Structure 1
Amino acid sequence: MPTTSPIDRGELLDVLVIGAGQAGLALGHHLARRGADFLLVDAGPEIGSSWRARWDSLRLFSPAQYDSLPGLPFPAPADTHPGKDDVADYLAAYAAHFALPVRLGTPVVRLHRDTDGTFEATTPTGTLRARQVVVATGPFQTPYIPAFADPLDPDVPQVHTARYRNPTQLPGGGRVLVVGGANSGLQIAAELAATRPVTVAVGTRPTELPQRIAGRDLFSWLDAVGFFTVPAHTRVGRRLRARGDLVIGTRTRDLRRRGVDLRPRLTGLADRTATFTDGTTVDVDAVVWATGYRPDHSWLHVPGAVVDGQLRHTAGSTDVPGLHVLGLPWQTCRGSALLGFVGADAEALAARLTPGAGTTDVPGRGPATPAVSPA
Structure 2
Amino acid sequence: MSICSYINIEVNELIILDTIVVGAGQAGLSMGYWLSLIDQNFIIIDGGTRIGDTWRKRYNSLTLFTPRYLSSLPGLSLKGNPQGFPTKDEVADYLEQYAHTFNLPIQMETEVMVMDKQDDIFYISTTKGTFQAKRVIVATGPFQVPFIPVISKNLSPLVFQIHSSGYRGPSQLKPGNAVVVGGGNSGAQIAVELAATREVYLSVSKKPRYLPLSILGKSTFWWFERLGLLNAREGSRIGQKIRDAGDPIFGHDLKSLVKDDKITILPRTMKCKEQEIGFLDYGDLKVQNVIWATGFKTSYSWIKIPHVCDESGNPIHSRGLTNIKGLYFLGRPWQHKRSSALLTGVGEDAEYLVRVMQKN
TM interval, shorter chain, is over 0.9
Give how far 1:307 is off: 1.0
State the partner residue of 2:28. 24
Q: Provide the TM-score with structure 2 as the length reference.
A: 0.94
| 1:156 maps to 2:148 | no
- In the alignment, the residues of structure 2 paired with residue 50 and residue 306 of structure 1 have an alpha-carbon distance, to the nearest angstrom, of 25
Q: Secondary structure at the match of 1:133?
A: strand
State the partner residue of 2:248. 246
Q: Larger RCO: Structure 1 or Structure 2 (Cα < 8 Å, ≥ 6 residues apart)?
A: 1
Give how far 1:9 is off: 4.2
Decide whether the 8 Å contact of 1:187 with 1:250 is kept in 2: no
State the partner residue of 1:331. 335
Decide whether the 8 Å contact of 1:139 with 1:329 is kept in 2: yes
Moved over 4 A (4+): 4-7
Q: What is the RMSD computed on CA atoms of the aligned residues?
A: 1.5
State the partner residue of 2:218. 216
- In the alignment, the residues of structure 2 paired with residue 291 and residue 5 of structure 1 have an alpha-carbon distance, to the nearest angstrom, of 37
| 1:146 maps to 2:149 | yes
Instruction: Report the count of equivalent residues.
Output: 351
Which of 63, 66, 82 is the matching residue for 2:67? 63
Amino acid at match of 1:68: S
Moved more, 76-85 or 121-130: 76-85
| 1:284 maps to 2:287 | yes
Decide whether the 8 Å contact of 1:177 with 1:200 is kept in 2: yes
Q: Secondary structure at the match of 1:29?
A: helix
- In the alignment, the residues of structure 2 paired with residue 239 and residue 33 of structure 1 have an alpha-carbon distance, to the nearest angstrom, of 37
- For residues 22-101 of structure 1, what are the structure 2 equivalents within 5 Å? 22-101=26-105
Give how far 1:155 is off: 1.1
Q: Secondary structure at the match of 2:278?
A: strand
State the partner residue of 2:4. none
| 1:312 maps to 2:316 | yes
Q: Provide the TM-score with structure 1 as the length reference.
A: 0.91
- In the alignment, the residues of structure 1 paired with residue 69 and residue 186 of structure 2 have an alpha-carbon distance, to the nearest angstrom, of 22
Moved more, 198-207 or 48-57: 198-207
- In the alignment, the residues of structure 1 paired with residue 287 and residue 170 of structure 2 have an alpha-carbon distance, to the nearest angstrom, of 15
Decide whether the 8 Å contact of 1:16 with 1:134 is kept in 2: yes
- For residues 188-199 of structure 1, what are the structure 2 equivalents within 5 Å? 188-199=190-201
- In the alignment, the residues of structure 2 paired with residue 6 and residue 147 of structure 1 have an alpha-carbon distance, to the nearest angstrom, of 42
Give how far 1:271 is off: 1.2
Identity of counterpart residues, as a percentage? 40
Q: Secondary structure at the match of 1:317?
A: coil
- In the alignment, the residues of structure 2 paired with residue 182 and residue 171 of structure 1 have an alpha-carbon distance, to the nearest angstrom, of 23
State the partner residue of 1:15. 19
Amino acid at match of 1:280: G
Which of 169, 179, 182 is the matching residue for 1:180? 182
Decide whether the 8 Å contact of 1:193 with 1:258 is kept in 2: no
- In the alignment, the residues of structure 2 paired with residue 15 and residue 346 of structure 1 have an alpha-carbon distance, to the nearest angstrom, of 13
Listed one character per residue, the Cα deviations across residues 198-255 of structure 1 (whole Å, up to 9, x for unaligned) are 0111113453211111222111111111111111111221221122223211454313
Q: Structure 2: 5+ residue runs without aligned partners?
A: 1-7
State the partner residue of 1:126. 129
Listed one character per residue, the Cα deviations across residues 336-358 of structure 1 (whole Å, up to 9, x for unaligned) are 000122111011011112228xx
Give how far 1:258 is off: 4.9
Give how far 1:195 is off: 0.1
Amino acid at match of 1:179: V
Moved more, 184-193 or 255-264: 255-264
Decide whether the 8 Å contact of 1:132 with 1:322 is kept in 2: yes
State the partner residue of 1:231. 233
| 1:274 maps to 2:277 | yes
Listed one character per residue, the Cα deviations across residues 42-99 of structure 1 (whole Å, up to 9, x for unaligned) are 1110111111110001011111111110000111212211111111100000001000
- In the alignment, the residues of structure 1 paired with residue 213 and residue 267 of structure 2 have an alpha-carbon distance, to the nearest angstrom, of 25
